[in-house]
């Protein structure tokens, strides 16, 4: 599984402390567990003049630690998103086809910046529903299909909550219709966790199936691997798991969407439960 990070502050700030320096930083998470190395690329995205700027690499971040530090120091912004990749492969492609800068995250378009942890098991079927946005897909990462689906929904005027729920509903509908064509798969997705920004707000959505609770987080190992964490304050920090042990990290639980916005000298946030009890699985 990949590693996600997001930070929002009320003034330009770099995220090097959390990406590189603390005990369970993104860099540490990439290499601390030999059985779960994050070796398939990395990226850092931030806003410059209100538009996303992204630096990406297809190389293992733990082999480019100094470059990762350098980029993290230079990426001073009110909103920063980083992604470290362990490549998913729902199409069963040769590994060398999966690894490229185009397939590394975050993805961006217009004012949108996006990173995903999980696997979309029906990327080609979803791509057929993208309309004109299908031509925008640059790589073969299933996460990029997720991204363009959300962009399509948002540019059609839907809000983030509706777009996220529409994506899961679409996956379930497609699964009902075509699961027989995928006998090697058991479900339409494994993890729909995202950190996302429209340049003004930072969003984090945690969504996974109950069977995924059997694995623990990579560094501190105290929570399910897909349960996200956040640290309120200035800045407000979100990650796939807590980056330090004792600073008051809180969970973003399955089905919850965190929205954060910097205003009036602080960072306000709310957490919404997008899924009713009948939809939790």
The pLDDT tens digits of the residues spanning 31-53 come to 999 999 999 999 999 999 889 99
Gap between the Cα atoms of 76 and 109, Å rounded: 20
Helix (H) or strand (E) segment spanning residue 231: strand 228-231
Residue 144's pLDDT is 98
Residue 279 has pLDDT above 90, yes or no: no
Write out pLDDT tens, residues 48-94: 988 999 999 999 999 999 999 999 999 999 999 999 999 999 999 99
DSSP code for 50: T
CA distances from 71 to 40, 45, 57, 76 (A): 18, 10, 11, 9
State the residue for tokens 């009036």.
Answer: 264
The domain tally of the chain equals 1
φ/ψ (deg, to 5) at 112: -90, 140
Residue 1 has pLDDT above 90, yes or no: no
Residue 280 has pLDDT above 60, yes or no: no
Residue 215's pLDDT is 87
Residue 156's pLDDT is 97
Which residue range(s) make up the domain with 175? Answer: 3-279
Q: Report the mean per-residue pLDDT for the chain.
A: 95
Do residues 134 and 144 touch, judged by C-beta distance below 8 A? no
Q: What is the pTM of this model?
A: 0.96
| CATH code for the domain of 220 | 3.60.20.10
């Amino acid at each position: 599984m990949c590693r996600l990070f997001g930070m929002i502050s009320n003034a330009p700030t770099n995220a090097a402390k959390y990406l590189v320096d603390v005990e369970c930083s993104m860099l540490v998470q990439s290499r601390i567990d030999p059985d779960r190395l994050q070796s398939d690329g990395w990226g850092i995205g931030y806003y410059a003049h209100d538009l996303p700027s992204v630096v990406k690499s297809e190389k293992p971040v733990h082999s480019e630690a100094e470059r990762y530090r350098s980029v993290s120091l230079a990426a001073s912004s009110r909103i920063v998103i980083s992604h470290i990749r362990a490549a998913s492969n729902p199409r069963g492609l040769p590994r060398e086809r999966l690894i490229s800068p185009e397939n590394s995250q975050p993805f961006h378009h217009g004012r949108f910046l996006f990173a995903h942890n999980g696997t979309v098991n029906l990327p080609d079927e979803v791509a057929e529903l993208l309309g004109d946005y299908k031509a925008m897909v640059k790589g073969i990462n299933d996460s990029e299909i997720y991204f363009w689906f959300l962009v399509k929904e948002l540019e059609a005027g839907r809000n983030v909550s509706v777009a996220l729920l529409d994506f899961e509903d679409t996956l379930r509908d497609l699964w009902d219709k075509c699961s027989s064509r995928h006998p090697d798969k058991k479900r339409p997705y494994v993890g729909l966790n995202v950190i996302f920004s429209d340049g003004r707000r930072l969003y984090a959505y945690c969504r996974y199936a109950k069977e995924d609770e059997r694995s623990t987080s990579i560094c501190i190992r105290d929570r399910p691997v897909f349960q996200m964490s956040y640290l309120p304050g200035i800045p407000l920090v979100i990650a796939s798991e807590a980056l330090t042990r004792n600073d008051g990290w809180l969970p973003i639980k399955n089905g919850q969407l965190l929205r954060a916005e910097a205003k009036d000298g602080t960072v306000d946030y709310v957490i919404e439960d997008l899924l009713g009890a009948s939809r939790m699985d």
